[in-house]
Chains A and B, each alone.
Chain A
Amino acid sequence: MRSGSAHLAAGLCLAALSLPAGAEEPRFDATLELGTELRVFPNAPAYAAQRDRTLGPSLYLEPEFTADWNGGDDRLTLVPYARFDRDDDRRTHADIREANWLHIGDGYDLVVGADKVFWGVTESRHLVDIINQSDAVEDVDLEDKLGQPMVQLAVPSDWGTASFFVMPYFRERTFPDRKARLSGGARVDSNASYDSSAEEFHPDLAVRWSHVIGDFDVGLSHFHGTSREPRLLKLDAGDPTNLTPHYDLIDQTGLDLQYTTDAWLWKLEAIGRGGHGDYFGAAVAGFEYTLFGIAGTDMDLGLLAEYQYDGRTENGDAPGVLGNNDTFFGTRLTLNDVDDSSLLAGAVVDNEDGSTLLSLEAERRIGDSWKVEAVARFFVNADRRNPLVGYERDDFFSLTLIRYF
Chain B
Amino acid sequence: MGKLQRLLALAVLAVSPVLQSAYAESPEDKGLAIAEETDRRDLGWGDSDVVMQMILRNAEGESSVRDLRLRSLEVPERKLGDKSITVFHKPRDIEGTAFLSHTRILDPDDQWLYLPALKRVKRISSKNKSGPFVGSEFAYEDLVSQEVDRYAYKWLRDEACGEAAPDRECFVVERTPLYEHSGYTKLVSWVDKRDYQPRKVEFYDRKDALLKTLLMLDYRQYQGQYWRTHRMDMVNHQTGKSTTLTFEDYSFKVGLSEDDFDKNRLKRVQ
Contacts and interface: CB of A to CB of B under 8 A. Distances in A.
Interface of A: 31, 33, 68, 72, 75, 102, 104, 107, 109, 116-118, 120-121, 143, 154, 156, 161, 163, 210, 212, 217, 258, 260, 262-265, 290, 292-293, 298, 300, 336-340, 365, 367-369, 371, 402, 404
A338 B135 contact: yes
Interface string B65-95: 1000000000000000000000000111111
A180 B128 CA distance: 45
B194 interface: no
B268 interface: yes
B259 interface: yes
Interface of B: 56, 58, 64-65, 90-95, 108, 110, 118-125, 127-128, 130-132, 134-135, 259, 262-265, 268, 270
A121 B92 CA distance: 26
Contacts of A109: 265, 268
Contacts of B65: 368
Given A31-B92, A72-B270, A368-B90, A263 B135 contact: no
A315 B121 CA distance: 36
Contacts of B95: 31, 404
Contacts of A263: 125, 127-128
A293 B131 contact: yes
B94 A340 contact: yes
Contacts of A116: 119
A217 B122 CA distance: 10
Given A212-B123, A293-B130, 15 more contacts: A31-B95, A116-B119, A117-B119, A118-B120, A118-B121, A217-B123, A260-B110, A262-B125, A263-B127, A264-B125, A292-B125, A292-B131, A336-B135, A365-B91, A367-B64
A336 B270 contact: no
Contacts, number: 95
A60 B8 CA distance: 78
Given A365-B91, A368-B65, A338 B123 contact: no
Given A210-B264, A260-B123, A368-B64, A290 B128 contact: yes
Given A260-B123, A260-B125, A338 B131 contact: no
Contacts of B108: 262
B259 A156 contact: yes
Most buried by A among B130, B134, B270: B270
Main SS at interface, chain B: mixed
Given A68-B270, A217-B123, A338 B130 contact: no
A404 B92 contact: yes
A359 B56 CA distance: 33
A258 B131 contact: no
Most buried by B among A107, A336, A369, A371: A336
Nearest to B102: A212
A293 B65 CA distance: 24
28 contacts: A109-B265, A109-B268, A118-B121, A120-B120, A156-B259, A212-B263, A258-B123, A262-B125, A263-B128, A290-B128, A292-B125, A292-B127, A292-B128, A293-B130, A293-B131, A298-B132, A300-B128, A300-B131, A336-B132, A337-B135, A338-B58, A338-B64, A369-B93, A371-B93, A402-B93, A404-B92, A404-B93, A404-B95
A156 B58 contact: no
Contacts of A368: 64-65, 90-92
Nearest to A117: B119
B58 A265 contact: no
A340 B130 CA distance: 17
Contact of A340 (B134, B259, B265, B270): B134
A246 to B, nearest CB: 28
Contacts of A337: 135
B118 A365 contact: no
Contacts of A118: 118-121
B147 to A, nearest CB: 19
A371 B263 CA distance: 28
B127 A262 contact: yes
A300 B134 CA distance: 13
Contacts of B130: 292-293
